[in-house]
Amino acid sequence: MTTTTNNAAPSGAQSGQAQTQLVTQNNTALKQVQESTITKTLERVNAMQQSGELVLPHGYEAANALKSAWLYLQTVENRGHQKAIDVCTKDSICNCLLEMCIRGEHPKKHCYFIPCGNSLEFWERYTGKVMRAKRDTNIADIHAQVVYEGDDFSFISVDGCYQLIEHKTCLENMDTTKIKAAYAVVILKDGTKYIEVMTMDMIRKAWQQGSMKGNSGAHLNFTDQMAKKTVIARACKIALDGTEDNFNTEEDGDFTMTPPDAAEAELEAANKEVKQIGHKQPSQNTIHRDSFEENADYEEVEAEPKKLQLEPEQATPAKSSGRKCPI
């Protein structure tokens, strides 16, 4: 954590006592952090491109994405309302920014940065998985549906791929407390199709990876939508793992870990309710998000992802966060 020191003691303090000023409270220090993270990351991306180590997606401007990331980064807080820029190491910030660029993603739209202790962690949104699957794999489109008790649902396996035969439902069956399964229809660019199927038991086990264990307001109130997004995320993950140049492999670890935002829907609702009655937001568990949709990408977590390391700086190494939810 980089700080600046103001030698003037605060009112009421003993003479000679120093006041520590946070980076975000000092424009000069903030500019220095921007130069040592955003500028350094862009230089690293350009160097990787020139050496042939990295090919960015067509139309993706790393400089623009990093500018957006810097604006977003200044709003990121941990649950104690401490700014990520104040508590996270420069190396971890650079690693997050570099991973975003390598994936060809944009902050908030495709991914989030989450403070875990003094390390800033990269978390990919559901929309980021879908975007990469359509861009980097043979997937042209993907749609999901849930299967309710009483539905006529049948499928077969052809060459190891499940093919949908029939799914008939009716309004009387549409009860979110009686969902049996969910499936995603994957449409490939050559027109062929297959489905990814998950039973509700499999889906709930995936939700157990989240901090709220599938008991958040989003899961309870929008169970069908959450189930759809879970099976889509699974289908995208499998497709992405199968691409030749994709770094998301079992050998390198699972880079598709999902954000710890199962609790975000409830926290967001609580924060909005407090705002409406004119009180201060609760001091517990606030992390910036857009809407409940970000609670969508829950999937099984298999391994600890490796960091994309930049050249080391003279900074305190980030402590291992263990990928624990900051909530």
Q: Which residues contact 157 (CB under 8 A, 6 or more apart)?
A: 163
Indicate the helix (H) or strand (E) that contains 274. Answer: helix 264-276
Asked whether residue 320 is assigned to any structural domain, the reply reads no
Confidence of residue 70 (pLDDT cuts 50, 70, 90): very high
Tell whether 249 is covered by a domain. Answer: yes
Q: Is the whole-model pTM more than 0.85?
A: no
155 and 178 inside one domain: yes
Residues 259 and 280 in one domain: yes
1 and 140 fall within a common domain: no
Cβ neighbour number for residue 61 with a 10 Å cutoff = 11
What integer pLDDT is reported at residue 243 of this predicted model? Answer: 63
The residue with greater pLDDT, 148 or 238, is: 148
Kindly indicate the confidence band of residue 139, based on its pLDDT and cuts at 50, 70 and 90: very high
* pLDDT the model gives residue 173: 96
pLDDT higher than threshold 80 for residue 194: yes
Task: Kindly state whether residues 36 and 137 are assigned to the same domain.
Answer: no
Q: Which of 124, 142, 174 is the last residue of a domain?
A: 124
Q: Looking at 108-170, which runs of residues are DSSP E strands?
A: 111-116, 119-124, 139-148, 152-158, 161-168
Residue 25: pLDDT above 90? no
Where does the pLDDT of residue 188 fall: very low under 50, low under 70, confident under 90, or very high at 90 and above? very high
Q: Which two tokens stand for residue 222?
A: 């929008």
Q: Is the per-residue pLDDT at 304 higher than 90?
A: no
Range(s) of the domain holding residue 28: 1-124
Together in a domain, 149 and 79: no
Task: Judge contact between 84 and 95, C-beta under 8 A.
Answer: no
Most confident of 94-103, 207-216, 234-243: 94-103
Would you say residue 160 lies in a domain? yes
Residue 314 DSSP class:
S
Q: How many CA atoms lie within 13 A of 138 on its CB side?
A: 13
Q: Six-digit token pair at 153?
A: 């649902």
Rounded Cα gap, residues 252 and 246, in angstroms: 10
Are residues 132 and 251 part of one domain? yes
Look at residue 294 in the predicted model and tell me its pLDDT.
39
- If one compares 61 and 246, the residue with the highest pLDDT of the two is 61
Query: Which DSSP string corresponds to 204-243?
Result: HHHHTTSTTTT-SHHHHHSHHHHHHHHHHHHHHHHHHHT-
Is 205 part of a structural domain of the chain? yes
Q: Which of 5-9, 213-217, 302-306 has the highest mean pLDDT?
A: 213-217
Give a yes or no: residue 325 inside a domain. no
Residues 144 and 8 in one domain: no
**73-127, pLDDT tens digit by residue?**
999 999 889 999 999 999 999 999 999 999 999 999 999 999 998 999 999 988 8
Does residue 179 belong to any structural domain of this protein?
yes
CA gap 327, 262 in Å, rounded: 10
Q: Supply the pLDDT for residue 29.
A: 87
Asked if residue 168 and residue 272 are part of one domain, the reply reads yes
Residue 53, C-beta contacts closer than 8 angstroms, at least 6 positions apart: none
- C-alpha 112/C-alpha 20 separation (Å) is 29
Contact 87/93 with Cβ under 8 angstroms? no
Looking at residue 95, its pLDDT comes to 95
pLDDT tens-digit readout, 241-286: 876 454 433 333 333 344 444 444 444 444 444 444 444 444 444 3
Number of domains forming the structure of the chain: 2
Q: How confident is the model at residue 5 (pLDDT cuts 50, 70, 90)?
A: very low
Taking the C-alpha atoms of residue 231 and residue 288, their distance in angstroms, rounded to an integer, is 25
Instruction: Using a pLDDT cut of 70, give the percent of the chain over it.
Output: 67
User: With contact defined as beta carbons under 8 Å apart, do 76 and 115 qualify?
Assistant: yes
- Residue 57 sits in the same domain as residue 161: no
Question: How much is the average pLDDT of 17-26?
Answer: 68
